[in-house]
Structure 1
């Protein structure tokens, strides 16, 4: 059969499918990632601003924490979503440096965009970036300083202070660094499970009213009549933790019991009461003075315990119960019939006391304490929530530093040293087209000190030129001096960061950039297309309004 010399058109994809491919698609994806970078780069560093983010329900969040911003941004562009996912992985792995990953990945893409436009193969660019990334990581591991032999607490406090320098609480960093280091050192040093650090938020009061509890504290649970008659303070009490409901059970739906006489009915009722009384009697005989249960403790049990000077709390949250078990040495019981002395926990002091407008139960002086609680105070809920996010970053930094006690100087010093090294290596040892890729990556690393200067209102061009000169002279720890608006030896100034943060940030940023460069075709089904989605072709640089539906700084509501 002849078609007049023309090849017939074969339709493979469903009608309405949007298919974009080629060099223009890669550039479109790069521009989308630059729009995400533009949103968060203003939050970098000690003088970075905060973002006010409003979700579709009108809930407001004020933050400069990169992981929180990435989570709250409703990114619809598929390539830009890849960038946000990899940034979140940095938060999960290290706990800090999320903003740096996004800023660095965006800058790497910006630097290699001209190569894409010039027709250089994506695979050549990716190969060059991976080589540069590996060299950068090796250089960081070569220059990092091991602090294992120094005063551990002093080192950890300096690292926590650097992590807090860009946060809302940096004015109170001395107060909170001690709290963070105490919290991490109170954990089991083998697994360092940060989930055993409880954080409780109570509005009202000043930041300095926040408490560190070497034990467990949780908000008073729902209580029945008779609760106020119970004692609220004990010395060396025995603690029993239950997963038992101490309440009279109502009859099952549609249950049927046939009785011949009233006395038989009375026997059934008496049996129900006898069951719960046997449970309560067993708990009383165990010698426990504090009874906690994940399930409800009803009014009958509450009054029974009050008459015998025993404190009880039902409906205790699972995470709080787990931390009580870790701290007191108790074990959770699912029956009341066989409670032995080894099943009970203890603490030096139990007390219920008022914190702001809430009443809290405190277990302090626990013998097996491998957990602690931070009770945060502040004027507004958004403010306390940001304090919690800041402390989480500092806790994760301290945790990683205990495991890997290698540090580098912050304030752009590490990035400038690696950049100078890569420039020199590319000039001397790389002769083909990858030389330009490695030099582009080296230039992209300078975005960190440049953005730190821009956010602080410094002359970025002048300071970067001075930093380049210092690093060529061999001053490897020269970085931005935020106090005197200049440059300084940031290792001597105790602007320290774990080397793991830098290594992970570079690896994650390059991974994100390579992933985006390797995608040169996007196929979008009509049904799954977002009604507000951005056009796939020719996305102009900085078009954040069309790439993201989340409202960040300067983003109009759609």
Structure 2
């Protein structure tokens, strides 16, 4: 047995160990961070993403870019996860989180080369992250739900650099109005802004200035029959999860018809079934129907004759919103309809917008629900506008809930970096080096802002540090003027959670990647040989198995 090799892994599996594994992972993660780095800040560039179907997305939203990129490397996927988490938690700052993680890994690489063990680097990074949370919380500014001007500044900061910048005043006003209208205080006295209660509907055509906020729900459908009324006041709304069609048998069945009389009675029976359904609807007192499934042509005629406005194929999310707004129950059977199951609205109206019709449900008594109707010149413009507004809605909601904001323009990062350098000097042992490197890594954010604006990053960083050392904690980079100025005066504000979440997520992912010293990749399925070998499957392209 002495000279015989022992095979533990299956044939074709690859194993990378030690520093090679760490270097490979760090390199892959850095490459992903570098891909989105040029999009950071108001002067960041856009990326054009073309998917396998040929659909084009033009954006500088870090989360959207990383979501669309087809990333294969497992360590690189962790950077994508940071971005997704940041997007889910706060809605903005996704590029910041990814870029920070990339820089923390680059700094860790230098420490590894100096012979410092990954465990010590991880311990130092954790200490630094905890201290950074303390520092950033100490420089946060209070903001309340009634401080409309501050909330508008937060929304405008999120919209800046997203393609809709020229109209940020109008859009930030709509955003703040929308979020404040759905904000409520829960049983524990905590302010809650459930931004899912805001529906964003978009339509190409018109200008961005035509965007409006509607107090109610917009349904992107039209009435099913042209003879139905276009407007109904004091609507009694029925939400139906079942189709208004002939009932089909559960089992497979066949009917043999041998005479015209039988055929006629069969048709009459079908009509009678439909009439019975419509009579049940009419008996409930409903004059507006939103149906999740189909509505038969004959049923449409009967409903139109009865003066009922009906729409079909409504999305589940829209049905839920309508249910919350109008207090209607979503019914799955027509037999069970009662007047108590119906919802109410002051007005249900069909309106035409740029060649297509939509139904507006306004004056709802239930849970406050609002709809933002966005307009723009082209499809790509409204898509970019949609992404910008979604980010703005989320950050305003977060700011209202936390009631804490910080200034932008790279100012918090410089302040944290300087205070961490002081903290590092108080530590003994090798963790001190890791904390110092963490502090240095934070400078990547203001440095990238300067680079993307075509400014000299070294001069700008030096000036920002000088201002902060003098005690001006709000000194940040005004990328439009190319100067270091007070960012609070420049109305550049962000929720505190953007910074705390980005630092947390970036640190956790960096530590996870650093602690990997062995990568075992199982063998992929071998591609089929071209030209046959398995009967008719010879034409299958490589890699399809």
TM-score (norm: length of structure 2): 0.90
In the alignment, structure 1 residue 501 sits paired with structure 2 residue 498: yes
In the alignment, structure 1 residue 54 sits paired with structure 2 residue 55: no
CA distance 1:386–1:530, shift in 2 (3 Å): farther
In the alignment, structure 1 residue 174 sits paired with structure 2 residue 169: yes
Moved more, 63-72 or 16-25: 16-25
Secondary structure of the residue that 1:309 maps to in structure 2?
A: coil
Per-residue CA distance 1:288-334 (angstroms, 9 max, x = gap): 22122112111112111222221111222211122122222212223
Moved more, 29-38 or 180-189: 180-189
Alignment of 1:186-205 (within 5 A): 186-187=181-182, 189=184, 190=186, 192-205=193-206
Query: What residue in structure 2 maps to residue 547 of structure 1?
Result: none
Whole-Å separation in 2 of the counterparts to 1:414 and 1:311: 55
Query: What residue in structure 2 maps to residue 540 of structure 1?
Result: none
In the alignment, structure 1 residue 527 sits paired with structure 2 residue 524: yes
Whole-Å separation in 2 of the counterparts to 1:389 and 1:336: 39
Per-residue CA distance 1:176-211 (angstroms, 9 max, x = gap): 112212222333635644333222222222111222
Secondary structure of the residue that 2:57 maps to in structure 1?
A: strand
Q: 1:82 aligns with which of 78, 81, 89?
A: 78
Q: What is the CA-CA distance between 1:251 and the residue it aligns to?
A: 6.4
Whole-Å separation in 1 of the counterparts to 2:70 and 2:97: 18
Per-residue CA distance 1:491-512 (angstroms, 9 max, x = gap): 2322111111100000111111
| Cα RMSD after superposing both structures | 2.4
Q: What is the CA-CA distance between 1:414 and the residue it aligns to?
A: 0.6
Q: What is the CA-CA distance between 1:359 and the residue it aligns to?
A: 0.5
Q: What is the CA-CA distance between 1:421 and the residue it aligns to?
A: 0.3
Whole-Å separation in 2 of the counterparts to 1:161 and 1:307: 50
Whole-Å separation in 1 of the counterparts to 2:396 and 2:308: 40
Q: RCO greater where, 1 or 2, for CA within 8 Å and sep 6 or more?
A: 1
Query: What residue in structure 1 maps to residue 311 of structure 2?
Result: 313
Q: 1:132 aligns with which of 109, 128, 133?
A: 128
Query: What residue in structure 2 maps to residue 18 of structure 1?
Result: 14
Moved more, 160-169 or 61-70: 160-169
Query: What residue in structure 1 maps to residue 288 of structure 2?
Result: 290
CA contact (8 A) 2:33 2:79 kept: no
Alignment of 1:401-412 (within 5 A): 401-412=399-410
Whole-Å separation in 1 of the counterparts to 2:382 and 2:45: 17
Secondary structure of the residue that 1:48 maps to in structure 2?
A: coil
Secondary structure of the residue that 1:43 maps to in structure 2?
A: coil
CA contact (8 A) 2:449 2:479 kept: no
Query: What residue in structure 1 maps to residue 472 of structure 2?
Result: 475
Whole-Å separation in 2 of the counterparts to 1:264 and 1:188: 62
Structure 1: 5+ residue stretches without partners: 532-558
TM-score (norm: length of structure 1): 0.88
Per-residue CA distance 1:127-172 (angstroms, 9 max, x = gap): 1111101100111122212223x73322221211111113111211
Whole-Å separation in 1 of the counterparts to 2:375 and 2:318: 19
CA distance 1:261–1:501, shift in 2 (3 Å): same
Q: 1:324 aligns with which of 322, 325, 328?
A: 322
CA distance 1:238–1:410, shift in 2 (3 Å): same
Query: What residue in structure 1 maps to residue 535 of structure 2?
Result: none
Count of aligned positions: 522
Per-residue CA distance 1:423-465 (angstroms, 9 max, x = gap): 11112x1132222111111011011111111111122211110
Alignment of 1:270-285 (within 5 A): 270-285=268-283
Per-residue CA distance 1:372-395 (angstroms, 9 max, x = gap): 222222222222112111111111
Whole-Å separation in 1 of the counterparts to 2:13 and 2:336: 66
CA distance 1:297–1:241, shift in 2 (3 Å): same
Query: What residue in structure 1 maps to residue 538 of structure 2?
Result: none
Whole-Å separation in 1 of the counterparts to 2:409 and 2:526: 42
Q: What is the CA-CA distance between 1:232 and the residue it aligns to?
A: 0.3
CA contact (8 A) 1:109 1:513 kept: yes
Q: What is the CA-CA distance between 1:340 and the residue it aligns to?
A: 3.3
Whole-Å separation in 1 of the counterparts to 2:436 and 2:361: 58
Q: 1:433 aligns with which of 426, 430, 440?
A: 430
Whole-Å separation in 1 of the counterparts to 2:496 and 2:527: 41
Query: What residue in structure 1 maps to residue 533 of structure 2?
Result: none
Whole-Å separation in 1 of the counterparts to 2:68 and 2:44: 18
In the alignment, structure 1 residue 350 sits paired with structure 2 residue 345: no
Q: What is the CA-CA distance between 1:215 and the residue it aligns to?
A: 0.7
Secondary structure of the residue that 1:330 maps to in structure 2?
A: coil
Moved more, 129-138 or 374-383: 374-383
CA distance 1:74–1:530, shift in 2 (3 Å): farther
Q: 1:65 aligns with which of 49, 61, 66?
A: 61
Secondary structure of the residue that 2:272 maps to in structure 1?
A: helix
CA contact (8 A) 1:411 1:480 kept: yes
CA contact (8 A) 2:345 2:365 kept: yes
Whole-Å separation in 1 of the counterparts to 2:140 and 2:46: 31
In the alignment, structure 1 residue 381 sits paired with structure 2 residue 379: yes
Query: What residue in structure 2 maps to residue 185 of structure 1?
Result: 180
Structure 2: 5+ residue stretches without partners: 187-191, 529-545
Whole-Å separation in 2 of the counterparts to 1:169 and 1:471: 32
CA contact (8 A) 2:223 2:310 kept: no
Query: What residue in structure 1 maps to residue 40 of structure 2?
Result: 44
Moved more, 493-502 or 269-278: 269-278
